[in-house]
Amino acid sequence: MPALRPSAKPPAADGQFAIAIHGGVGNLPDRLSPVEKRQMQDALAGALAVGLALLADGAAALDAVEQTVRVLEDEPAFNAGRGAVFNSQGRHELDAAVMDGGSLRGGAVAGVRSVKNPISLARLVLSETPHVLLAGEGVEQFAEEMAAHPQIQRVSNEYFSTEKRYQEWLRHIERVQAGAEPETYRGTVGCVVRDGQGNLAAGTSTGGMTHKRWGRVGDTPILGAGTYADNATCAVSCTGTGEHFICANAAFRISALMAYQSLTLEDATRQVLSNVLPKGAGGLVAVDRSGQTFMHTSTNSMSCARADSGGFSEVRL
């Protein structure tokens, strides 16, 4: 059987690590109050600190990704976990995925309605089942089976609601009814990591798009579209209009450009965001096998942050 990917040297266990995270596109800094800006900056810095501490202690890339995304899911400033947007039925359906760059295996969930941290449920799909993606009633049944796991906490659907998201939903409906262009929130959270053993991992979590049709699934839980990791090239977590990222196979395309055209992470990312995806489709964070990170968006803004073992750190809105 032919190889599924080009051969690559084993990852370099050099002790050097790097992490990049995002809180999604769609929050223009000039529309945020000073309090909201500070909340978002503090949340990004806090999540980054969690991931850095784990990596400094020798944690595996996948563990650091999961725990970092959990912090972002718990922060109402972002559209994932608590603070997720409302769908067309006035409820919340959440998606998440993780992928391990060493094994090329992943776990994903779609349409989650009752799990506080969907990223951990996605991790359990990877570790506890032979499958990749569970959705709808099947994912809720799986959550029930995993309820005794320490990382799984069941909550009511109302747990994810916040007054800010509710008002956004009402404004969206009003604009649609008035025939005006709606302001659709498209936020997502994500994390990519290169650990000290040279392994890569990616994780992404989202509430989707404001007023999305119930049952709609975006790019987040589709490996290769919104989430991807391969030790031979890079790890990627995307945010934006999921339909565009799915059709472009965006996250994997960046990896393929690096593998088959020898593009750098930055050049591959810019090519996909500028030449493949429609203008304004979204953004992403990524890290390559050497630990170089890159954060870029074709929208007006993306909240993101990154750091590495060399002491470099930054937070951007």
Active-site residue set: 188
Per-position DSSP letters for 44-57, written without gaps between them: HHHHHHHHHHHHHT
User: CA–CA separation, 208 vs 246, rounded Å?
Assistant: 14
Alpha helix stretches (DSSP H) within 5-109 = 34-56, 61-73
Distance CA 309, CA 242 (A): 32
What are the strands of the beta sheet with 227-229, ordered from one edge?
Answer: 227-229, 234-240, 282-288, 293-297
User: Would strands 133-135 and 105-112 be described as parallel, antiparallel, or unpaired?
Assistant: parallel
Does residue 94 contact residue 187 with C-beta atoms inside 8 Å?
A: no
Q: Which of 68, 107, 110, 106 is nearest to 207 (CA)?
A: 110
The helix-helix angle for 61-73 and 118-128 (nearest 10°) equals 150
E strand or H helix that includes residue 124? helix 118-128
- Tokens, residue 195: 């650990």
Give the Cα separation of 305 and 303 in Å (integer). 7
State both tokens at 86: 């409302």
* C-beta atoms surrounding 51 within 10 Å: 29
Rg (C-alpha) for the chain, rounded Å, is 18
H or E element, residue 241: none
User: Distances from the Cα of 197 to the Cαs of 38, 121, 250, in angstroms?
Assistant: 34, 25, 26
